[in-house]
Amino acid sequence: MDAAARWLAESQALVESWIRTDMEREEVPGGRIHEAMRYSLLAGGKRLRPLLVLAAGRYLGIRRGALRAWALAVEYLHTYSLIHDDLPAMDDDDFRRGVPTSHRVFGEALAILAGDALLTEAFLCLAREGAVEFAPERVLAAMRVLAEAAGSRGLIAGQVADLGADLHTADLGLLESIHRRKTATLITAAVAMPAVLVGETQAQERLEQFGEHFGLAFQIVDDILNVVGDPRQMGKAQGTDAARGKVTYPALIGLDESRRWVQYHRDRALQALQGHPRADALALLLEQAVERER
């Protein structure tokens, strides 16, 4: 295993232990709502977004412990979005992260509330710990990056456009703008926040470019896996997009052309890193994201 792979494996174990400790801390009392929050958080998941936070920190020379709250916040927010995306009013999915979805286990009302609570917990975590290591004005700026990515001009706008998209009228431009907001904004925020925290404007621009192309490549691979992936490996059902007539890359342009777009965004993401000596973990995460399909 090379240095980046070892570093990523260690970081993943660190993120897992942070989530566990944070969700088991004294102030988080028992009860159904915390059980539901823990259920979805601890069901697994690749922890891609917190790993991107830490890998961007490595690129910038920030030690991992300083980014704990930021890594947790982005995973909490992401998990909320998955719980809500799976609800009957949205995608109505039964499996996620290899286990029954939150609403299948806890009922719809509690699943909605668990998502709401995780979204709130993300910002609580930052308000509580975010400023321990960084200047308060930078913390506010980085929190704003996360809030903008998650809000009605980012993630939620993407979801709204996704729900309204029609396979008969959609084109690639519309689909890319959905993917950009639904998936790439949070991935971009994950890599941009560490740069904002240390005021590295030029690095921030490069990381944002990396995040945008990473996010688009990642979502196109997700679209492809929904056609050809192994449900056991993915932890969720396959073929659901086609069954619902969803607008996806394979539905619009076929698998081969979709794979070419993955390659295009992968190359652009790598270019943005410009061979930086500390970009190894970011580059490896990108390769792993693209390789999921192979």
Chain residues binding ligand GRG by CB under 6 A are: 45-46, 48, 81-82, 84-85, 97, 155-156, 158-159, 182-183, 219, 222
134 vs 188, which CB is nearer to ligand GRG?
188
In whole angstroms, the minimum distance from the beta carbon of 226 to ligand GRG comes to 9
Q: CA distances (Å), 180 to each of 39, 57, 109, 124, 134, in order?
A: 28, 23, 29, 26, 29
In whole angstroms, the minimum distance from the beta carbon of 173 to ligand GRG comes to 19
64 vs 78, which CB is nearer to ligand GRG?
78
Rg (CA), the chain: 18
In whole angstroms, the minimum distance from the beta carbon of 39 to ligand GRG comes to 13
81 vs 258, which CB is nearer to ligand GRG?
81
116 vs 129, which CB is nearer to ligand GRG?
116
Give the residue closest to ligand GRG by C-beta: 45
105 vs 156, which CB is nearer to ligand GRG?
156
SS3 call for 99: strand
Q: Which two tokens stand for residue 49?
A: 């977004």
**Which residue matches tokens 């903008």?**
148
Check: CB of residue 68 under 8 Å from CB of residue 62.
no
In whole angstroms, the minimum distance from the beta carbon of 230 to ligand GRG comes to 14
183 vs 204, which CB is nearer to ligand GRG?
183
∠ CA 134-154-212, nearest 5°, is 75
In whole angstroms, the minimum distance from the beta carbon of 26 to ligand GRG comes to 27
Measured CA to CA, the distance from residue 14 to residue 9 in angstroms comes to 9
Task: Name, in order, each residue with C-beta under 8 angstroms of 147's C-beta and a sequence gap of 6 or more.
Answer: 123
Q: Which two tokens stand for residue 18?
A: 């942070």
In whole angstroms, the minimum distance from the beta carbon of 122 to ligand GRG comes to 12
